[in-house]
Amino acid sequence: MSNILNLKGVKLFAIIVLALAVLATFGMVAVQSASADAAALATCPTLSQGSSAQSCVMNLQGALNSFGATLVVDGAFGPMTKAAVVSFQSARNLVPDGVVGPLTKAALMGATGGVFPAGCTSAAGFSTTTGAPCTSSSLPAGCTSTVGYSPTTGTKCDGSQGGGGGGGDTGLQGGAGSANYSLMSDYSSETVGEGAEDVKVAGIEVEANGSDLELTAVRLVFTQGTAGSDFEDYAAEVSVWLDGEELGRVDADEFTDGNNYTSTITLDSGVIEEDATGELVVAISGIGNLDTNDAGDTWTVDFRSVRFLDALGDSTSEDPSTATKTFSFENFATSSDSRLDMRLTTGDAADAINKAHLINSHATDETEMKNVVLLEFTMEAEGDSDLEIRDFGVDIVVATEDHVDDLIAGGTAPEVFLEIEGENYGTAGYNEDADDTDVGVDEEVAFADVDYTIDAGDTVTVRIVANLTAADVHAAGSTIYAQVTETQSNDTALFDIRDESNTQLADADMVGTPTGEASTLRGSGFNLVFVSESATESHSGNVANASDHDEGTFTLVFTVEAWDDNATSIFIDNTAPTETGGATESDVNVTGTDTYVTSSIERTGGDTAVESGDDFEVLAGDTVEFTITYVTAAGADGLFDVSLGSLLYALATGDGDLTVADAQIDLLDFKTTPPLNLNYDVD
């Protein structure tokens, strides 16, 4: 009986010993695993919430679990991992900021019994056998981490070079340092465009007191204003700059999720000298495919914490306590301020196209009517984006007695061309509605597949050119002009202008309505060319005679060049021009009191012109010079000058029944005579 009891006791003892051995083995494995996790952190970068270094975060989580945490070792540095880091830091008298830097990593190695260099029993101090630092064999003598400066050699513990100042050769001048902060006013309601890079949205001025200051980290908090999506749905990257030099950059998805998106950004060698002020600025790069619903959404950014090092090697982390700044995200077109600006060209050559004039319409031969320029204007790509013209449209208007296809050759395939910088682009066709299949007096011509790009900031010259029909096809005296109005530019089916993000410009982003004046097609006509003008005092009044006033003689000289293919001669009305002009005589415009002695129109040179009772006949192909003379009356008093207002002509002998109007005369570069000051300085 006792032997049996003794045997049971032996078995029980053996089981207990085996259990203890198993527990000890598992404990050693756990300690070794935790030690391995902590030791592996030595080669990891600084970790914080949102860090993407998955293997390093897994090592961190394993080490924290050995200290009592119950984390899932999944490599995701989330709020639970941050809380465990803060708890560990608080227990070790470290700054409880949730950031795993050199000091926190060294403490984790010591807390988990990590593997240390020969002669070391912890992460602190130096080996008793080799003299090397116990935290890392690569740290300079006297350093227990990469933060600060060695108390024995003065070198920087991160291995970079430096010299001078403080309690050792820190590379910073001065003693104990502090900083003052103020929010910069340079940035206000900034806009980050779709795909834009490094748009500066906020900044603080940092004043260094008592020492040079080396900025080592900044914690930023982005808070949703009107935004309804995550931060990474708007931003691609966040960068930090000191006085125009980049110090750090992180991906936007490294910021913690939630209404407040937070991340600490490690900075690289940003030094503000003692008594100087540096500008610490945060910049945002926008994603390349901003959702339409997110365009215009606002965010605020807060400089929540700035960490700096002074000349004594002391590291300080503090809240600048400055206000936040608001900024927004916009689509590419809005942020780049893209706009297509269309304007009539200026100058004599352009006026000869855009203002009312005579178009020489051959009587029967359409080959003589090719490449007639109906409109000339410019297009400018305003803003920061190139603009691609895919489709374009223009409106053609003719007199009511014709339809557009009566004057435009080509029938249903109009021979109208979009000429940009001298080259034709696109394929033209009438822009017919389903209910409007007949070409009328006012028709849009659509240019498809233009595929022309205007570089940002550039201006190009555009012409609307057409092949016209001969005079035997359309009514005599037909008129035609081209225009681009808001009706065309606001029609997205007719106008398709794209920015660099492939976004079609909105109606408001296409401005300008270049419009020509109605010009007349005639089988017989002429060119009117200015030659000269003059103004002379033809009579000086007698000061002793109150009724004897100054007189002035004004002349205008021009030529009439009859087209050589005219079907008939040109007949210039020989009735003396007056200031009232109208249906019976040519008109002169006079500045001054309406009083004169004589006026006349005479042939004064060039080819022979036969004068009959009512007109001068100018034969086809001939050039005849004419002079209009205007003499003021003795009662004239004031400042006088004279210009040609209109010229009457006809296509058959008799009084002139057709008019070259003042708008046409203006574009022909006609000059006004010099002014005369009459009756003020009589002899």
Distance from C-alpha of 160 to C-alpha of 142, rounded to nearest angstrom: 15
Beta-strand relationship, 315-318 and 298-309: antiparallel
Sign of the CA dihedral running 474, 480, 484, 485: negative
Does the pLDDT of residue 112 top 50, yes or no? Answer: no
CB neighbour list of residue 341: distance below 8 Å, 6 or more residues apart: 379, 380, 382, 511, 512
- Could you tell me if 397 and 483 are in contact, meaning their C-beta atoms sit under 8 angstroms apart? yes
The residue that leads in pLDDT, 368 or 4, is 368
Sign of the CA dihedral running 159, 162, 163, 166: negative
Amino acid occupying residue 435: D
Q: What is the pLDDT of residues 235-268, one digit of tens each?
A: 999 999 999 999 999 999 999 887 789 999 999 8
Does the pLDDT of residue 605 top 90, yes or no? Answer: yes
> Which of 44-58, 65-79, 103-117, 340-354 has maximum average pLDDT?
340-354
| C-alpha distances in Å from residue 406, one per residue of 155, 201, 212, 443 | 91, 60, 83, 12
Does the pLDDT of residue 330 top 80, yes or no? Answer: yes
Distance from C-alpha of 207 to C-alpha of 31, rounded to nearest angstrom: 48
**DSSP secondary structure letters along 206-252:** EEEEEE-EEEEEEEEEEEESS--S-GGGTEEEEEEEETTEEEEEEEG
* 221: nearest Cα among 270, 186, 256: 256
Q: Quote the tokens at residue 318.
A: 């503090």
Does the pLDDT of residue 442 top 60, yes or no? Answer: yes
Radius of gyration of the chain (CA): 45
Q: What is the pLDDT of residues 174-233, one digit of tens each?
A: 999 999 999 999 898 898 988 888 999 999 999 999 999 999 999 999 999 998 899 999
Q: Which of 260-274, 434-448, 485-499, 644-658 has the lowest mean pLDDT?
A: 434-448
For 476-500, what is the mean pLDDT?
87
Confidence of residue 44 (pLDDT cuts 50, 70, 90): confident
Q: What is the pLDDT of residues 520-535, one digit of tens each?
A: 888 788 888 899 999 9
Amino acid occupying residue 464: I
Query: What are the backbone angles phi and psi of residue 277, rounded to the nearest 5°?
Result: -125, 130
Confidence of residue 666 (pLDDT cuts 50, 70, 90): low
Helix (H) / strand (E) containing 579: none
For 358-379, what is the mean pLDDT?
87
The residue that leads in pLDDT, 155 or 374, is 374
- Could you tell me if 285 and 196 are in contact, meaning their C-beta atoms sit under 8 angstroms apart? yes
* 124: nearest Cα among 138, 106, 111: 106
> Which of 128-132, 149-153, 552-556, 653-657 has maximum average pLDDT?
552-556
pLDDT for res 619: 94
| C-alpha distances in Å from residue 415, one per residue of 196, 361, 390 | 43, 16, 19
Q: Which of 336-350, 431-445, 498-512, 576-590 has the lowest mean pLDDT?
A: 431-445
For 623-627, what is the mean pLDDT?
96
Q: Is 374 buried (19+), middle (13-18) or exposed (0-12) by CB count in 10 A?
A: buried
Q: Which of 165-169, 229-233, 310-314, 541-545 has the lowest mean pLDDT?
A: 165-169
- Could you tell me if 306 and 213 are in contact, meaning their C-beta atoms sit under 8 angstroms apart? no
CB neighbour list of residue 176: distance below 8 Å, 6 or more residues apart: 210, 211, 310, 311, 312, 314
Confidence of residue 55 (pLDDT cuts 50, 70, 90): confident
Distance from C-alpha of 657 to C-alpha of 573, rounded to nearest angstrom: 9
Distance from C-alpha of 62 to C-alpha of 91, rounded to nearest angstrom: 18
The residue that leads in pLDDT, 678 or 552, is 552
pLDDT for res 202: 96
Q: Whose structure tokens read 């009539």?
A: 344
Helix (H) / strand (E) containing 549: none
Distance from C-alpha of 22 to C-alpha of 27, rounded to nearest angstrom: 8
pLDDT for res 38: 66
Helix (H) / strand (E) containing 662: helix 662-667
pLDDT for res 2: 39
Q: Which of 67-76, 399-408, 540-549, 551-560 has the lowest mean pLDDT?
A: 540-549
Distance from C-alpha of 56 to C-alpha of 44, rounded to nearest angstrom: 6
Does the pLDDT of residue 16 top 50, yes or no? Answer: no
pLDDT for res 156: 53
pLDDT for res 489: 81
* 64: nearest Cα among 134, 135, 112, 115: 112
CB neighbour list of residue 11: distance below 8 Å, 6 or more residues apart: none
pLDDT for res 573: 93
| Number of residues written out for the chain | 683
pLDDT for res 163: 37
3-state secondary structure of 253: helix
Distance from C-alpha of 138 to C-alpha of 603, rounded to nearest angstrom: 106
pLDDT for res 481: 95
Q: What is the pTM of this model?
A: 0.51
pLDDT for res 409: 92
Q: What is the pLDDT of residues 196-209, one digit of tens each?
A: 889 999 999 999 99
CA 248 from chain centre, in angstroms, equals 27
Confidence of residue 31 (pLDDT cuts 50, 70, 90): very low
Total Cβ atoms within 10 A of residue 538: 14
* 212: nearest Cα among 305, 276, 306: 276
3-state secondary structure of 181: strand
> Which of 134-143, 235-244, 378-387 has maximum average pLDDT?
235-244
Confidence of residue 348 (pLDDT cuts 50, 70, 90): confident
Q: Whose structure tokens read 């400055």?
A: 322
Q: Which of 111-115, 153-157, 213-217 has the lowest mean pLDDT?
A: 111-115
pLDDT for res 152: 42
Does the pLDDT of residue 661 top 90, yes or no? Answer: no
* 340: nearest Cα among 291, 393, 288, 419: 393
| C-alpha distances in Å from residue 155, one per residue of 126, 166, 307, 339, 499 | 16, 12, 20, 57, 54
pLDDT for res 130: 52
- Could you tell me if 413 and 429 are in contact, meaning their C-beta atoms sit under 8 angstroms apart? yes
What mean pLDDT value characterizes the chain? 81
CB neighbour list of residue 543: distance below 8 Å, 6 or more residues apart: 682, 683
Does the pLDDT of residue 102 top 90, yes or no? Answer: no
pLDDT for res 589: 86
Confidence of residue 435 (pLDDT cuts 50, 70, 90): very low
Query: What are the backbone angles phi and psi of residue 54, rounded to the nearest 5°?
Result: -60, -45
CA 151 from chain centre, in angstroms, equals 54
Helix (H) / strand (E) containing 680: none
Does the pLDDT of residue 122 top 70, yes or no? Answer: no
